[in-house]
Chain A
Amino acid sequence: MQETCNMTSPTTVSHVAGEEILSWAAKDESGHLAPLKISRRPTGPQDVRLKVMYCGICHSDLHQITNDWKNSSFPMVPGHEIVGVVTEIGLDVECFKVGQHVGVGCMVRSCHACDSCQLGLEQYCPKVVWTYNSTDTADGTPTQGGYSAVMVCNQRFVLRMPPNLPLDASAPLLCAGITVWSPMKYFGMVEQGKHLGLVGLGGLGHMAIKFAKAFGMKVTVFSSSPGKEKEAREILGADNFIITKDNEKMKNAAKSIDYIIDTIPSAHCLDPYLALLKTNGKMVLLGVSTEPVQISVYSLIFGRHFVGGSLIGGIAETQEMLDFCGAHNITCMIEKIPITYTNSAMDRLMKSDVKYRFVIDIENSLKE
């Protein structure tokens, strides 16, 4: 949903035929990324064309280039935390202008007619088209993501980046940020003074801390890595840090937490975390694993707890989140890398060896 905007006449539609764009792609499920030229459509009446400046590396990129979820099509140009500058807009585009900084997240199309779309929850549309590794329903072509010099995207899925925020550190807001923001809002995990527990301190987790502190909550981090404590407290602002293997501390923290955000991307038992919740406490699962999690029903019943799930966020709420970040100066902690480092970055990401998101400097490193 676009706000009213002040626009003078848009630029003309490109008449250039499908342009060949330099990108990096995985050719098979080895996941090895290498240069590849891909075709992008000419800028249609509803399209925004942008020169990509930065693209965040999401854990989903790693899952999909290695076909973890058994639904990958190759060649695959990953990347759905894309920030760039508009170079061209279609005739029907009124809310964006050339030279503006914009972003594209995880989706590039939906039906706009179903209940989910009407609710501004395009990510749950049965016909949603993902930014990469999907088939564009408009023309049947495979979608390709942001490890690429240029993006073309329907205006309804383009977002305004806050002008005061550094663009590189804003890119991961487009997936990591919204993936945490959306359930915090929907499940009512936003009350000032409440106590949020964060399980797993990575790309999603560090955003949860930042939002929670912005909402005025107390934050305890539950992590298996002692090395993350100093930074969690001093830079991210966490109030407490508990090592999950420390049974004493976990026991003492029982029934002390209002909300838990669980970002662990692998199978695990939820009971030790559910025990931390107060009566009526809530947990949200954001990590996606192909293996199931385990829950003892006692953990839900004795305390009237629930465990919910959530998937990214709709476009309107992504814009709302970006505007909030602009107003509160919230960005991500990143490690900026050239495109040539991407394979090493993926290796390190597999070991969670990054604080807390890699962002590819596309503009300065993806060249012929």
Chain B
Amino acid sequence: MAPASAAATEVEVTAWAAKDTSGHLAPFTFSRRATGPGDVKFKVLFCGVCHSDLHQIHNDWGGSLYPMVPGHEIVGEVTEVGSEVKAFKVGEIVGVGCMVNSCQTCDPCTRHLEQYCLKKVIWTYSDKDYDGTLTQGGYSTIMVCKQEFVLKIPTNLPLDAAAPLLCAGITVYSPMKHYQMDVSGKHFGVVGLGGLGHMAVKFGKAFGMTVTVFSTSPAKEKEAREVLGADHFIVSKDPEQMKAAAGSIDYIIDTVSASHPLDPYLSTLKLDGKLVMVGIPEKPLSIHAFSLTSARRFVGGSGIGGIKETQEMLDFCGEHNITCIIEKIPISYINTAMERLGKTDVKYRFVIDIGNSLKSEN
């Protein structure tokens, strides 16, 4: 294990950033802090493009801080570790997901649910850290991150296809575990077949469940069945197909971020069925209480996952050879990728080949 280097200066980072709500991304340089005693510094190799990146560069959710370097599905190779870092070493392949800091002492933090930190969880980009610095994400050549928020990537997985596990993967894995939607033999429904949805199908099959995909796009059926292994495919705009599925499903993960009615999906659930939202529509959704009371169902939500369970998920993926279906792109393609993402025209995640396309200007 290499000791901390003598460098005590900030590091210049080459990145692409959005400067305003137009969301247009362009080259940008900024500084990251010097590697502190508890920090891990790494050279970024790949970074996934999450739908949240698209929302945040356009300030869809309010609160966006510019200039913004997005990206929270970051994989790279360690170049330096702080003196107090024991678990990581130079040369190791690591990842950083959606969070880079939290208070570490509140009840959710001590229960490894840092994303629910009662004081303040610090997001990987577009946030103010406890020391006031603006956090910047993985569309950049270098990351410096507290060791508590760095993850080990299984060595047998292709790194580019593993990057989206750090957000898309955990966002689906966490509720499937927490809400116990992982029982072999049960019938699992996935609404929306994008970055999150395709991971839900993969995990569903890995947990031994029968999987039905609900989608508005009939064109996705072939791949859903043949590549992802879905057992059934229902076009959600077809009332006949939806009716035929009434009361047949144990659990549903709903990944759709556009506003949509939930009652039709709730009706497909059996007694005690569960529907968990991981997509975040901007406007409130309407639910008839009867959809819940008539069969003791519930609607829940879940956001990403804690660090410990993210590591657990990564290890599970390593054991079961689960990665994401990606379209690898150079950084120069990112604006086009964002446009296509806005039309959900990607199977199923863009991953930026940072290592080969974003060169440091130093």
Which residues of A are interface residues toward B (Cβ below 8 A)? 115-116, 119, 121, 124, 183, 186-187, 255, 269, 271, 279, 285-311
Contact = CB atoms under 8 A, between A and B. Distances in A.
Contacts, number: 120
Given A302-B303, A307-B300, A286 B293 contact: yes
16 contacts: A119-B271, A124-B295, A279-B108, A279-B113, A279-B116, A294-B285, A295-B299, A296-B285, A299-B301, A300-B301, A308-B297, A308-B298, A309-B292, A309-B295, A309-B297, A311-B294
Nearest to B275: A306
Contacts of B279: 297
A271 B284 contact: yes
B299 A300 contact: yes
B285 A309 contact: no
A162 to B, nearest CB: 26
Given A115-B271, A296-B284, A306 B113 contact: no
A269 B286 CA distance: 9
A306 B280 contact: no
A269 B300 CA distance: 16
A304 B295 contact: no
A121 B271 contact: yes
Nearest to A304: B302
A27 B175 CA distance: 50
Interface of B: 107-108, 113, 116, 118, 175, 178-179, 263, 271, 274, 276-281, 283-303
A145 B297 CA distance: 28
A297 B296 contact: no
A285 to B, nearest CB: 5
Given A279-B116, A286-B293, A306 B286 contact: no
Contacts of B281: 297
The listed residue with most B CB atoms (<10 A of its CB), out of A124, A288, A297, A310, is A297
B271 A297 contact: no
Contacts of B297: 308-309
B280 A297 contact: yes
A183 B298 CA distance: 11
A301 B302 contact: yes
Given A304-B302, A307-B300, A309-B297, A295 B292 contact: no
The listed residue with most B CB atoms (<10 A of its CB), out of A291, A292, A305, is A292
B277 A304 contact: no
Nearest to A296: B284
A271 B118 CA distance: 19
A309 B300 contact: no
A288 B296 contact: no
5 tightest Cβ-Cβ pairs between the two chains A and B = A309-B292, A300-B301, A306-B300, A308-B298, A309-B293
Nearest to A124: B271
Contacts of A290: 288
Contact of A301 (B285, B298, B303): B303
A295 B281 CA distance: 10
Nearest to A125: B271
Contacts of A119: 271
B296 A186 contact: yes
B284 A289 contact: no
A290 B292 CA distance: 13
A295 B289 contact: no
Contact of B289 (A121, A124, A293, A306): A293
Nearest to A309: B292
A286 B293 CA distance: 7
A304 B178 contact: yes
B296 A300 contact: no
A292 B287 contact: yes
Nearest to B61: A298
Contact of B296 (A299, A304, A308): A308
A43 to B, nearest CB: 33
Nearest to B302: A304
B291 A306 contact: no
A293 B302 CA distance: 20
A309 B296 CA distance: 5
A211 B232 CA distance: 44
A304 B178 CA distance: 10
Given A305-B301, A310-B293, A293 B287 contact: yes
A186 B289 CA distance: 18
Contact of B284 (A186, A285, A294): A294
Given A115-B271, A297-B280, A307 B299 contact: yes
Contacts of A287: 289
A297 B289 contact: no
Contacts of B278: 301
Contacts of B113: 279, 304
Contacts of B298: 187, 306-309
A104 to B, nearest CB: 21
A299 B283 CA distance: 11
Contacts of B295: 124, 309
A306 B300 CA distance: 4
A300 B300 contact: yes
Contacts of B178: 304
A85 B108 CA distance: 53
A307 B108 contact: no
Given A297-B281, A297-B301, A304 B116 contact: yes
Contacts of A289: 288-289
A183 to B, nearest CB: 8
Given A279-B108, A306-B301, A297 B285 contact: yes
A292 B116 contact: no
Contacts of A299: 301
B291 A309 contact: yes
Contacts of A298: 280, 301
Given A295-B284, A295-B287, A304 B301 contact: yes
Nearest to B113: A279
